[in-house]
Amino acid sequence: MKQQFLPICRQDMIDRGWEQVDFVYISGDAYVDHPSFGHAIITRELEAFGYKVGIIAQPDWKDKNSIMIYGEPRLGFLVSAGNMDSMVNHYSVSKKRRSKDSFTPGGVMGRRPDYATIVYSNLIRQVYKKTPIILGGIEASLRRMAHYDYWSDKLKRSVLLDSGADLISYGMGERSIIEIAEALDSGIDVKDITFIDGTVCRVKSLDSVYDAVMLPAFEDLKADKLNYARSFYTQYCNTDPFTGKRLVEPYGEHMYIVQNPPSKPLSQQEMDETYSYPYMRTYHPSYEKDGGVPAISEVKFSLISNRGCFGGCNFCALTFHQGRIIQTRSHESLLEEAEHITQDKDFKGYIHDVGGPTADFRHPSCEKQLKYGVCKNRQCLFPTPCKNLKADHKDYVSLLRKLRKIPKVKKVFIRSGIRFDYVLADKDDTFFKELCKYHVSGQLKVAPEHVSDAVLTCMGKPRNEVYQKFTEKYKKINEQLGMKQYLVPYLMSSHPGSTLKEAVELAEYLRDLGYMPEQVQDFYPTPSTISTCMYYTGVDPRTMKPVYVPKNPHEKAMQRALIQYRNPQNYDIVLEALKKAGRMDLVGYDKHCLLRPKRHGGKNQGTSYSKSRAPERGNDSGHRNTSGSGNASGGKRPYKKKAIRNVHKKKGR
């Protein structure tokens, strides 16, 4: 059978000789048949198991006819907001409307609604009262239980209730979606499907629910933020597929949301199968007239080698979505895909990335995880690497060497990020040396996020001295190789724990570095992260100790401006911040000063503004460049070459 896209309209269904589809998949993204897009993986997975799937991409949510083009599906509707939470897709951290949507043809904004999962599901319910609706993707996955919603500044119910849907397939979804399909196909009523791992259901009675941990009722969560902090931490401790318990969240006297334990991780063979389906690897040709779908450019010549992350950053939602156990593809699978990429007419010889949430994780952090799961009360890398950590890059080095040898491949880049503390934990420097020699193009982007140890502790990141050690080693290796390459740090302002004191400390670090980012990532409170829980409750849910949270928009603006203190437009607000922080010693003519006094007449005598471009992380924290069902594609931007001249020049960084 000729390789082809899945149906996107009724005529496509008829052309295939189908009288009815088994599932209709409704997506907030345009249809891109590439394994970096959640809808592509889930629909191809269902196809591989013999199910007929029709896709409705970005339906008109104001017109119920837009979801009726196939008629009623035999088994149900699958609904996803897309690769990003629709609110993150639409709004910046300052809640301003974004101008572009990379997941829409032509980058046009406004083709999906706010809270798309809820809106699409309610639209279906207007027409099909009893047809099963299964939610998936990152929006539903991270809103599966009661959650803080930053955009409305409210605690919201499980998305399952507000959507009127029947089930949520949370996480990556390959296992649970097939089990759901088989259960429906066997005649089981959707209301009786309460037992599948990786799903959330709603029930009116707990008679069929066993071995469950009872969470506080929703009304109790609304009444006391500390109740929410405790509930959230219970959820956090039950995100492991081997040790996670079934959780129940009551709503009134006769409604319960039941979260079953997470699905088991995929084996390497299953991962290989998932990425071997007959993807067309591009957007549907119907979008060509609109200029295509911009998001494909980030992933078209990239390889997804892993999923999951044991890094455990507090502002990242990967623990709740992909989990902490690393799953990888085999070398053979990746090499086969790379060979296929080289045959593309647009391939210029550059593989843009080989990675996943963290590029250099190619195996579980320790031997016991695939049998016993991850530790509940300890992180693998924070505050220091666990003594059981297996820090070994041999497999990744071997893979990269094989990829470099493929004919037509000129360069293999690593763009999805590395964990610098994990690199240092490896006693063998082979990867570090080959990274610098072969996989960096003038600059390496890493994510220290901050320099204050107090803030780094709230972030779940290693102490600043670890990053400084990495910078020194990076400089030394490049000198040995005779290469001039720089480090470009990702930095974040206004994270819980950051006062103006810590923000000034970060500004001083940038002063010494001689680096000034053109764009700053302000902390973005997205659903289901520890940092967002801190933001909402004012406490660390793990210890229940108070945490300072910068919420005032003006204070947040001051923290942002301090990172860009050289920008003349920021002079007044930086001066205000320094006064408020009691750091007027940084206003003067000495080399350590951030600002010069104003000249007579009110004009600034400020320093020049060096426009170094740091990539804007347009994804919500924790939706970074993950792959598969409901994942976020990358938020990376290219750098201007002349913009990084001063990066890490001073102090050898």
Higher confidence at residue 600 or residue 397?
397
Distance CA 134, CA 475 (A): 51
Strand 256-259 relative to strand 199-203: parallel, antiparallel, unpaired? Answer: antiparallel
Residue 603: the pLDDT is 54
Q: Scanning the structure block, which residue is given the tokens 């699409």?
A: 120
Sign, CA dihedral 77-78-82-87, equals positive
- If you average pLDDT over residues 630-635, what whole number do you get? 34
What pLDDT is recorded for position 636? 35
Q: What is the model's pLDDT at position 1?
A: 60
Q: Assign 612 a pLDDT band (cuts: 50, 70, 90).
A: very low
**Model confidence at 628: pLDDT above 70:** no
Q: How many CB atoms lie within 10 A of CB 287?
A: 19
- Does 458 belong to an annotated binding site? no
DSSP state at residue 113: -
What number is the average pLDDT over the span 480-484?
Answer: 95
Q: Is 380 annotated as a binding residue?
A: no
Written as one string, the DSSP assignment of 469-528 is HHHHHHHHHHHHHT---EEEEEEEES-TT--HHHHHHHHHHHHHHT--BSS-EE----SS
Q: Average pLDDT, stretch 126-131?
A: 96
Of 315-319, 553-557, 634-638, minimum mean pLDDT range: 634-638
Across the range 473-494, mean pLDDT stands at 95
Tokens standing for residue 472: 């020194």
User: How far apart (Å, rounded) are the C-alpha atoms in residues 276 and 540?
Assistant: 42
Q: How many CB atoms lie under 10 A from the CB of residue 148? A: 23
Question: What local confidence, expressed as pLDDT, does residue 208 receive?
Answer: 84
Q: How far is CA 319 from the centre of its chain?
A: 10
pLDDT score recorded for residue 644: 37
Note the maximum CA span of the chain: 82
Tell me the DSSP string of 582-633.
Answer: T-GGGBSSSTT-SBPPPPTTS---PPP---BPPPP--SPTT-SS--STTPPP
pLDDT tens per residue, range 138-181: 999 999 999 999 999 999 999 999 999 999 999 999 999 999 99
Degrees (nearest 5) of the Cα angle 637, 641, 642? 125
Q: What is the reported pLDDT for 650?
A: 38
Of 86, 44, 360, nearest in space to 173 by CA: 44
Q: List, in sequence order, every residue forming a beta bridge with 350; answer none if it has no partner.
A: 411
The number of angstroms, rounded, from the C-alpha of 99 to the middle of its chain's C-alpha atoms is 21
Least confident window among 56-65, 187-196, 472-481, 508-517 = 508-517
640 three-class SS: coil
612 versus 454: the higher-pLDDT residue is 454
Q: d(Cα 494, Cα 531) in Å, to the nearest integer?
A: 11
Average pLDDT estimate for 86-113: 97
Predicted confidence at residue 599, as pLDDT, reads: 74
Task: Decide if pLDDT at 66 tops 50.
Answer: yes
φ, ψ at 81 (rounded to 5°):
-75, -20
Q: What average pLDDT score do residues 556-565 get?
A: 95
Residue of 479 and 617 predicted with greater confidence: 479
Query: Is 309 a known ligand-binding residue?
Result: yes
Instruction: Calculate the alpha carbon distances from 436 to 91, 429, 433, 478, 641 in Å.
Output: 36, 11, 5, 7, 18
Exposure string of 353-368, with b = 16+ CB inside 10 Å and e = fewer, is bbbbbbbbbbbbbbee
Q: How many CA atoms, within 13 angstroms, populate the side-chain half-sphere of residue 618?
A: 21
Q: How far is CA 245 from CA 193, 210, 211, 323, 364, in A?
A: 18, 10, 8, 15, 21
Q: Which of 218-222, 382-386, 431-435 has the lowest mean pLDDT?
A: 382-386
| C-alpha to C-alpha distance for 194 and 188, rounded to whole angstroms | 11
Rounded Cα distance between 51 and 69, Å, is: 18
For residue 245, the model assigns a pLDDT of: 96
Cα dist from 579 to 452, 558, 574, 582, 585, whole Å: 20, 11, 9, 5, 9
Mean pLDDT of 397-405: 98
Distance CA 199, CA 175 (A): 10
Report which of 87, 2, 6 is spatially closest to residue 42, judged by C-alpha positions: 6
Residue 610 pLDDT greater than 90, yes or no: no
- pLDDT surpasses 90 at 197: yes
Average pLDDT over residues 85-112: 97
Residue 376, pLDDT score:
85
pLDDT at 604: 55
pLDDT averaged over every residue in the chain = 91
- Other beta carbons less than 10 A from residue 189's beta carbon: 11
* Nearest CA-CA partner of 625 in 357, 237, 382, 411: 357
Residue 367 is given by DSSP the state T
Per-residue pLDDT, averaged over 192-212, amounts to 94
Q: What is the DSSP letter of 642?
A: G
Least confident range of 117-126, 341-350, 633-642 = 633-642
How far apart are alpha carbons 354 and 288 in whole angstroms? 28
Beta partners for 54? 24
Query: What is the DSSP code (8-state) at residue 349?
Result: S
Would you call 359 helix, strand, or coil by DSSP?
coil
